[in-house]
Structure 1
Amino acid sequence: MPYDAPDLAMLNLSEIAELAAARKLPPVETWDPAQTGDSEMRIGADGTWFHQGSEIRRPAMVRAFSSLLRCESDGQHWLVTPSQKLSIDVEDAAFVAVEMQSEGEFEKRCLAFRLNSDDLVMAGPTSELALREGLPYLYVRNGLWAKVARSVYYELAEIGLSESPEFPKVWSNGVAFKIGASE
Structure 2
Amino acid sequence: MNRLEDLLKQTDTNGSAPVERWDPPYCGDIGLAIARDGTWSYQGSPIRRPAMVKLFARVLRRDADGRTYLVTPVEKVDIAVADAPFLAIEMDVSGRGRAQTLLFRTNVDDVVRCGSEHPLRFAAGARGDELRPYLLVRGRLEALVARSLVYDLVELAVEGPQGRLGIWSDDAFFALPD
Q: Which residue of 2 aligns with 1:105?
A: 96
1:172 CA displacement: 0.8
Q: Which residue of 1 aligns with 2:128?
A: none
Does 2:150 correspond to 1:177?
no
Distance 1:77-1:145 versus aligned 2 partners, 3 A rule: same
1:40 CA displacement: 1.1
Q: Which amino acid aligns with 1:71?
A: R
Q: Is the 8 A contact 2:4 2:105 kept in 1?
A: no
Please give the per-residue CA displacement for 1:77-132, whole angstroms capped at 9, x wherever unaligned: 00000000000000000001011000001111110001011111110111000012
1:167 CA displacement: 3.6
1:38 CA displacement: 1.5
1:149-160 superposed matches below 5 A: 149-160=146-157
Q: Which amino acid aligns with 2:145?
A: V
Aligned residue among 161, 164, 168 for 2:159: 164
Does 2:137 correspond to 1:146?
no
Q: Which residue of 1 aligns with 2:45?
A: 54
Structure 1: which 5+ runs fail to align?
1-8
State the secondary structure of the residue aligned to 2:156. helix
Question: For the residues of structure 1 that align with 2:149 and 2:56, how far apart are their CA atoms?
Answer: 24
Question: For the residues of structure 2 that align with 1:75 and 1:12, how far apart are their CA atoms?
Answer: 30
Question: For the residues of structure 2 that align with 1:38 and 1:12, how far apart are their CA atoms?
Answer: 35
Question: For the residues of structure 2 that align with 1:107 and 1:16, how far apart are their CA atoms?
Answer: 24
Question: For the residues of structure 2 that align with 1:24 and 1:111, how far apart are their CA atoms?
Answer: 19
1:180 CA displacement: 4.2
Q: How many residue pairs align between the two structures?
A: 170
Aligned residue among 51, 54, 72 for 1:63: 54
Q: Is the 8 A contact 1:93 1:147 kept in 2?
A: yes
Give TM-score, length-normalised by structure 2: 0.89
Q: Is the 8 A contact 2:4 2:103 kept in 1?
A: no
State the secondary structure of the residue aligned to 2:51. helix
Question: For the residues of structure 2 that align with 1:48 and 1:126, how far apart are their CA atoms?
Answer: 27
RMSD: 1.8
Does 2:69 correspond to 1:72?
no
1:39 CA displacement: 2.9
1:10 CA displacement: 5.3
Q: Which residue of 2 aligns with 1:11?
A: 3
* Greater alpha carbon shift after TM alignment, 64-73 vs 164-173: 164-173
Q: Is the 8 A contact 1:19 1:120 kept in 2?
A: no
Distance 1:44-1:110 versus aligned 2 partners, 3 A rule: same
1:177 CA displacement: 0.8
